[in-house]
Amino acid sequence: MFNLKNLFTRALLALMLVTGAGAASAGPTYHVTIDTTSLSGTGFLDFLFSGDANSSGPATATVSNFSGNGTGVTTYGDVTPTATGAIFDNVNGFAEALIGVNLGGLFNFDLSFDVAPAGDGTTFSFALLNPTQDGYLGVDGDLAQFQLMPGSDTTVSSANALTSIALVSEVPEPATMASLMFGLALMGSTLRARRK
């Protein structure tokens, strides 16, 4: 016998599981804040995505929601500008973007990665450079570095312990988890109803 309630419950369950599980398996998004209020003048924010073009698994890094007092961008390698950031690709081994910046304020952006399941790793890093690009500002080296290894979690090393200039935090996605939990609850209620 055709049961409309049962059909509706199963359709809703499938929708919740597809939307929730798909997003939950994607890598995390990171929010980055760079505080240059203790610095003055100009400099460059250098984004570098690098790996071995012959052995690294295909990967992309997406910088989005960029805000701050930037003065222009120069790109090298596989960088595709977007409305609020850029997409970096490791197909040819590296991609780099140098953003001219006026120091003395905050720079914010979100960062996410898409990494192939096999191959060697790729590294994404960002640093503040002086106006002649021959020295660092704030800290001696990268403000943060992300090690992307296929089949493993992203490893983040940052200058947080050394300075308050860069803060990297993982963005929670409560809507994704709520959707997945709701789908699992529907699946449980469907199984319980089936047993009766």
Q: Where are the domains of the chain?
A: 4-24+175-195, 27-172
Task: Please give the order of strands across the beta sheet that includes 106-115.
Answer: 79-81, 86-89, 59-67, 106-115, 29-35, 166-171
| Residue bearing tokens 């295909």 | 58
166 SS3 class: strand
Check residue 102 and give its pLDDT: 95
Tens digits of pLDDT across the chain (196 residues)? 556 666 556 665 555 555 544 443 356 899 999 999 999 999 999 999 988 766 667 888 999 999 999 999 999 999 999 989 999 998 888 899 999 999 999 999 999 988 877 767 788 999 999 999 999 988 888 898 988 877 777 777 776 544 568 888 888 765 555 666 666 676 666 667 666 6
H or E stretch covering 158: strand 155-158
Tokens of 5: 């309630």
Could you give phi then psi for residue 71, rounded to 5 degrees? Answer: -120, 5
pTM: 0.72
Check residue 7 and give its pLDDT: 57
Q: Give the residue from 109, 5, 117, 130 showing the smallest Cα distance to 59.
A: 117
SS3 breakdown of the chain: % helix, strand, coil, rounded to 5? Answer: 25, 45, 30
Tokens of 120: 């060697």
